[in-house]
Structure 1
Amino acid sequence: MEIQLVLPEESQAEDLALQRNDREVVRYTGDPKYPYTKEDALADIRSFLEEENKSRVTRTILADGRPIGIVYFYLPWRGQKSVELGYWIGKQYWGQGISTYAAKQLCDFAFRTLDINRICASALEVNVGSWRVMEKLGMRREGTFIKAIYQDGEFFNDLYYAVLREEYSME
């Protein structure tokens, strides 16, 4: 399977909506919007493009040319030297190393092109796949925020991870 990261395009909206319109995917995105429609995807893509290189950098993850998810980071704010990474992919692509590959590409890009010292990310404790991605990137768990996220009538612990420039491997 060939994995590519490309700038989001409006033509990707239908495929991205199909991938994200799944309760399990939505549960882990931090945005509980469900159902997630083509119109929602179009609005998100337009927002990503408006924010590109201003407050965030976003890429669509393609698998064999088909949009399957999103990877992004928020740009440093007010002189900070840290960015926050995020990602999601369609459920049928979980467990194949795709999120790790996409996140690694974006982390490499961030450390190569930005004057930053740190990349951080978070995941619900129940989202083992996501925090395993962070560990594969060389991130260390910095903390657990107990019952920090409230979704679907339930509280969840949120795990925080980070890696410093001097700890990160570009290999």
Structure 2
Amino acid sequence: MDQIETKRLLLRKLLASDAKRIEKLAGDYDVAKTTLNIPHPYPEGSASEFIEKCHQSEEMKSIAAFAMVEKESQLFIGLINLNLSAPHRRGELAYWIGKDYWGKGYGTEAVKALLAYGFQELQLHRIYAAAFTSNPGSWRVMEKAGLSYEGTLRQHVARLGEFHDLVYYGLLKEEYEKGFDQKEALDDLSS
């Protein structure tokens, strides 16, 4: 599937033309500090390499990565992906959104769509995600999207010179099928 459409978003494959916008939005310290892997400061020109690596990983079926595009403005506002483990039929959900778009429900909308994609299209058995405990915006998105709290790993990672606790959330396909509002998820998807 090349793209997923929701009420307000278009989730599409990353394009080379997204590089400058990625550098601008991900280069914001407030965005970078909420993630484990976004460098800060964001090196100029490195977003092009990142996009190319994503394309290579997609070819190897180890990731399903999507640009989040706000339909109304047609602007790239963030990134969402599933890091895939085929032998275990699981995906690790990861996402970030530009600071100007925080608190508007875009994360929850995108996560719900990617859950539907992961369970229905990719036939995953489990989807999980982690966030810094200091980033309640991220783990609240997980809760709103239907993932369940699974535990906290104390001082599990070092980021920008500090150790951070990671909170983990997850959802099994059988839980998704029983409790998730499938009609809403299906309404959000379009081929």
The question of a shared fold, defined as TM-score above 0.5 by the shorter chain, is answered with yes
Q: In structure 2, how many angstroms separate the alpha carbons of the residues matched to 1:163 and 1:156? A: 23
Instruction: Give the CA deviation at 1:126.
Output: 0.4
Deviates more, 1:110-119 or 1:123-132: 110-119
TM-score of the pair, normalised by structure 2: 0.84
Q: Could you say what secondary structure the match of 1:108 adopts?
A: helix
d(CA) in 2 for partners of 1:164, 1:127: 24
SS of the aligned residue for 2:45 comes to helix
Match of 1:29 among 15, 31, 35: 35
Deviates more, 1:23-32 or 1:104-113: 23-32
TM-score for both structures, normalised by structure 1: 0.94
Q: Which of 27, 44, 52 is the aligned partner of 1:46?
A: 52
Q: 1:83 aligns with which of 57, 80, 91?
A: 91
Contact 1:32/1:151 (CA < 8 Å) preserved in 2? no
Deviations 1:53-109 (A, max 9, x none): 5210000001121111100001224x1021110000101111100011111111111
2:165 pairs with 157, 160, 166, which one?
157
Name the count of aligned residue pairs: 170
1:32 Cα offset (Å): 4.5
The answer as to 2:33 corresponding to 1:13 is no
Write the letter of the residue equivalent to 1:71. I
Task: Pick from 61, 64, 71 the counterpart of residue 68 of structure 2.
Answer: 61
Structure 2, unpaired ranges of 5+: 1-6, 185-191
CA root-mean-square deviation: 1.4
Report the identity percentage.
Answer: 35
> What is the letter of the counterpart of residue 8 of structure 1?
L
Matches of 2:36 and 2:160, distance apart in 1: 12
Structure 2: how far apart are the matches of 1:150 and 1:22? Answer: 19
Rounded to whole Å, the distance in 2 between the matches of 1:38 and 1:8 is 18
**Structure 1 gap ranges (5+):** none
Q: How far apart are residue 153 of structure 1 and its match?
A: 2.2
- Per-residue CA deviation, residues 105-154 of structure 1 (Å, 9 max, x unaligned), is 11111111123211000000000000000001111110100011212222
Alignment pair present for 1:112 and 2:120: yes
Amino acid of the structure 1 residue aligned with 2:118:
A
Mapping for residues 102-141 of structure 1, pairs under 5 Å = 102-141=110-149
Superposition deviation, residue 38 in structure 1: 4.5
